[in-house]
Chains A and B, each alone.
Chain A
Amino acid sequence: MKKALAAILTLAMLFSLAACSSGNGSADEGEGATEPRNDLTVILSSEFTTLDPQKLSANASINFCSNIFDGLVALDEENNVVPMLATDWEISPDGLDYTFHLREGVKFHNGNDLTAEDVKLSVERFRDNEWMAFASFAVDSCDIVDDYTVTIHLKFPYGNFLSMLWYCYIIDSDHYNSLSEEDFARNPVGTGAYQFVEWAPAQYVTLKANPDYWNGAPHIENLRFNFVSDSNTAMMALNTGEADLSFGVTPLNYKQAVEGGKLATDSTTGNNFYYINFNCDRISKEVRQAISYAIDRETFNVVINEDTGYLSDIALTEGQEGYTTDLTTYPYDPDKAMELLEQAGATDLSLTFYYDESSANTKMAQTLQSQLGAVGIELILEPVESGTWWSTFGNGDYDLSRSGYPMEAANTDSCYYDMFHSTGSFNVSRINNPELDALLDEARRELDSEKRNEIYIQVNQIMAEEAYYIPLYFSASLLVYNPDLQGVHALTSQNYQYKDMHW
C-alpha cells in the first residue's frame, strides 16, 4: 500500500507543480473574412532589456520606442529634420542655444499634458545616461522659458545637433517621479501613436492605438511584437500566418521568401556598416595594406549576405557629408598581397581574430581565415562571448577583429568621431593619428556643412591610404510581410512607423 501511496505522491507533486505554474489562456487571432483586420503581429529578432527611452542600448529598441514616444523633432525619410513635439525653434547666432516652442494640447497616454517640465526632465536624462552619450554629448543644460517653451544650451556650437535630437524621447515627469527606476523601465508612457499594454519578458510586447494622437490616430488597433531569435522559426511563422511582418530575417530566408512568392518582400540599403579592423598598435601600415589586397569582399558578401549586401569602400553612402570615390582602394589581388608581405618582411605571419560569437561573425571569421590562408597568413580564430569581447577590446589584446556600426543618416560626425578618433569610444582599430584627430576635432565644431564635407573627404582619404580598416559592406535592410498589409516598405534605418500601416 505504502508503495502505491509513494508513487501517487510523487506524481501528484509533479502535477501540482505543473498546475501552479501554468499560465492562462491565449488571445485568438480572429480573422474576419470581410472585416479588415485591426491587429498586426510583428516579429522582433531580439528582446529589449529595458523600455526606458533614455537607456535604450540597441537601435532595434530605439526604433521600437519611436512608436510609443515622440521626440521634439524627427527625421523624415529623406533625412530632413521635421517638427514633432516642437512646432518650431530658433537658434542663437553663436549656435549655442536652441529655443523650442512646444506643441500645445498634446497629452501623454496617462492623460497628463505635455509641458516644458517634461521636456526639461527628458533632456537632462538624455544628457546624463551613458547609453545616450553618442547623441547627447553636445548638450549642456535645459532651461524652462515658459510652460510651452524650453531652451537647450550646448557645450559647443554643434552643427549636427538637430539631427541627433530625435533620439531624445519625451517622457512624462509626473509618471517618472511616481515610479522607481526599475518600474519605470517596464512601464513606458509617452505621447506616441501607440500606447504600451503589456510586456511578457522573452515572449512579447503588446501595444494599442492611441486614438487621441496629435498627428492622427493610427489605422491598426492592436500591435503585438513577438520575440523570435531564430530566423527559420520566424519564417515559418510568417508562412503559416502566425505573424505578419519581420525585418530581421536572414538573407537566406529572405531569398526563400522572394522565391516562394507567397509573402511580400522589400529591401533597401541598410545603415549598418561592417568592416574588419586591425589593431593598428600591432600591425604596421605595410602589412595592413597587404592584407587589404588579400580580401575578396565579394565572397564575404555571398557567404554572409547571400549577395544582398552593398559593397562599399567607405563608411558612407552617396549624398552624405564626406562621401567621395576619390580614394585609395585595394582590389582583390592575392599575388600583390604576397609580394607586399614579402617586402614588409612579414612572411609566416600568425594573427589572432577576435569576434563575438554570432552566425554572421562565424561565417566572416572562416572566410577571412580561408582568404588569409591563401596568402600564407595563419589566422587563429578566437570567438568570445560578447561580454568578454569588450574587455579584450579595452585592453587591446587582439590583432584583428570585426565591427559593425549603425551609421547615422544625416550625421557623419558622431560616427566618425566615435570610430576613428583616438579618444573615440568605438575606436576598435586603435587608431592614433594626430592629423586625423585634428581634422575630426575641426569638423565637429564646424557649422558649415560644405566645409565639413571637405574635411571628411580628407579624413576618408587618410583612412583609405593608411588602411586602418578593411571596409566590407552595408548590410541590406530586408523586409518580409503579409501581402495584404499596406503602407509598408523597407527603410534604411528600420525605424518602422506602424501608425502608417493598414490592411
Chain B
Amino acid sequence: MVKYIVKRILVLIPILLAVSFVVFAILSFIPSDAARIMLGANAPQEAVDALRESLGLNDPFLVRYGNYMLNAFQGDFGNSYRSGQPVFDEILVRFPVTLKLAVFSILTVTIVGILLGVISAVKQRTVIDAIVTVLSMLAAAVPGFWLALMMMLLFASYMGFLPTYGIESWKSYIMPVIALSMPGIAELTRMTRSAMLETIGQDYVRTARSKGLREGLVMFRHALKNALMPIITVIGSNFGSLLGGSVVIETVFSLPGLGNLIVTSIRSKDDPMVMAGTLFVALIFCLILLAVDVAYALIDPRLRTRYVHQRKPRWRSKEVAAR
C-alpha cells in the first residue's frame, strides 16, 4: 500500500511541473506591465524600466520560466506585485477559508446526498421518490452563483439573521456552503439511488432481509456498504469541482479565500500570486484524486494495479453517472 502511494506521489511531480509550465505560458501571454503596476501611475518611466530589467521581465520566456522554477525549488515563489509580500504567506492565510468551505460543503453533500439517495431508493416509485428526483433534477440545473444571489436576497436582506459578510462565525458559511454543495447533492442523490437500487436486488440483501434483520439495518449495513464505490468516486470528484466552484462563490460572498485571491490577482495582473495560487490548487486537486484512489484501493485491492496505469477522469463526475 505504502509503495503504491509513494509511486502515485512520484507520478505527481512531472505532472505538476508540466502544469506550472502551462500556467506560466498562459500568464506570459497576457499583455501587461508588471513594473508599472508595482510602481504606480506616477513613477517616472526610467524607474519602471529599471525595475522591469531587475525583475527580469525583459528576458526571453524560457529564461524567465527557468529562473522561476529554480527559485520555486528553493521555496521562493516570489513576492506579490501588489503588496510586496511573499506570495505563500498570503496563500496560507487564504487557503483555510477555501478549505473550510470545501470541507463543509463536501460533508453536506455526503450526508444530504446519501440520505436522500437512500430514502428515495428505499421508497422507490412513491411520492417521496418522485419529489426527491424532481428536486435533484432542479438542483442540478441551478447555477451556484445565482442560487447564492437569491439566498442573499432572501435571507440576508429580508430576514437579517445570517451575517452578510466576514468569516468569523460559523453562520457566515451557511449560505456559501449551500450554494456550493447544491450540484454535488443533486449528483450524489441520483448516484446513491441507482447504486442502491442495484444492490437492493442482489441475493445477499434478500438473504439478510429474510433472516429477519431490521429494514434500516439491512439498508445501511449491507446495501449501502456495497454501493460505496461509486459514491466515493462522486464525493472525490466533487471535492475537486468544489475547489473550482469556490472561485465564483467566494467572489459572490466576498469571502477571503484562495479563489477570490486568484480572481483578484488575475484582474490586477499579479503574476506571482496567480502562478502560486493556481499551482497550489492543482496540487490539492491532485492530492484529492490520490486520496480517492487510495480509498478505492483500500476497498478493493484488485484495483490497485489497474489504477496505476489508467486513471479515470474524475473532476467531471457525470461520466460516472453515464456508465
Contacts and interface: CB of A to CB of B under 8 A. Distances in A.
A contacting B, Cβ–Cβ less than 8 Å:
yes
Interface of A: 2-7, 9-11, 13-15, 17-18, 20-23, 25-27, 49-50, 55, 57, 130-131, 133-134, 181-182, 185-186, 200-204, 226-230, 232-234, 236-237, 239-240, 242, 357, 385-388, 390-392, 394, 418, 425-426
A391 B32 contact: yes
Given A182-B85, A388-B269, A391-B31, A233 B165 contact: yes
B291 A10 contact: yes
Nearest to A425: B42
Contact of B298 (A6, A25, A201, A387): A6
Q: Which 6 A-B pairs have the closest CB atoms?
A: A387-B269, A202-B256, A21-B96, A130-B43, A26-B168, A6-B298
A32 to B, nearest CB: 21
Contacts, number: 171
A185 B84 contact: yes
Contact of A387 (B228, B267, B291, B292): B267
Interface stretch (B98-106, B127-135, B181-189, B205-213): B98-106
A11 B108 CA distance: 12
Interface stretch (B136-144, B155-163, B191-199): B155-163
Contacts of A387: 30, 32-34, 37, 267-270
B235 A357 contact: no
Contacts of B119: none
Nearest to B34: A387
26 contacts: A2-B299, A3-B225, A6-B295, A7-B228, A7-B232, A7-B295, A10-B295, A18-B99, A18-B103, A20-B96, A21-B96, A21-B99, A23-B167, A25-B168, A26-B168, A130-B39, A131-B39, A229-B254, A230-B165, A233-B152, A233-B254, A385-B30, A385-B266, A386-B267, A387-B270, A394-B36
Interface string B102-121: 01101100100000000000
B225 A4 contact: yes
Contacts of A17: 99, 103
Contacts of B44: 130, 133, 425
Nearest to B95: A21
B42 A133 contact: yes
Contacts of A181: 84
Interface string B57-100: 00000000000000000000001101111100010011110011
Interface string B285-323: 000000110011011000000000000000000000000
B17 interface: no
Interface string B163-186: 111111100000000000000000
B56 interface: no
B188 to A, nearest CB: 14
A232 B42 contact: no
A357 B267 contact: yes
A20 B103 CA distance: 12
B76 to A, nearest CB: 13
A20 B298 CA distance: 25
A394 B296 CA distance: 55
Contacts of B104: 18
Interface string B16-35: 00000000000000111110
Given A182-B86, A242-B164, A357-B267, A425 B43 contact: yes
B41 interface: yes
A362 B284 CA distance: 35
Nearest to A132: B42
B295 A9 contact: yes
B40 A131 contact: yes
A9 B90 CA distance: 30
A228 B94 CA distance: 16
Given A22-B100, A202-B94, A228 B254 contact: yes
Nearest to B107: A14
A228 B165 CA distance: 7
Contact of B268 (A131, A203, A385): A385
A27 B96 CA distance: 20
* Number of chain B interface residues as a range: 35 or more
Contacts of A386: 267-269
Given A14-B106, A203-B166, A385 B93 contact: no
Nearest to A202: B256
B295 to A, nearest CB: 5
Nearest to A392: B31
Given A3-B225, A27-B168, 16 more contacts: A7-B295, A10-B235, A50-B84, A130-B39, A130-B40, A182-B79, A182-B86, A201-B94, A202-B93, A202-B94, A230-B254, A239-B157, A387-B30, A387-B34, A392-B31, A425-B44
A22 B34 CA distance: 35
Contacts of A21: 95-96, 99-100
Contacts of B37: 387, 390
Nearest to A356: B267
B256 A201 contact: yes
A6 to B, nearest CB: 4
A44 B129 CA distance: 48
Nearest to B33: A391
B135 to A, nearest CB: 25
Nearest to A230: B254
B304 to A, nearest CB: 13
Interface string B257-275: 0001100001111100000
Contacts of A20: 96
Contacts of A23: 96, 167-168
B47 interface: yes
B222 to A, nearest CB: 11
Contacts of A239: 157, 160
Contacts of B95: 21
A201 B90 contact: yes
Given A11-B110, A21-B100, A202-B260, A237 B165 contact: yes
B99 A385 contact: no
Candidate in A11, A14, A242 with the most chain B CB atoms within 10 angstroms: A14
Contacts of B79: 182
Contacts of B295: 6-7, 9-10
A131 B43 contact: yes
A49 B82 contact: yes
Nearest to B231: A7
B163 A242 contact: yes
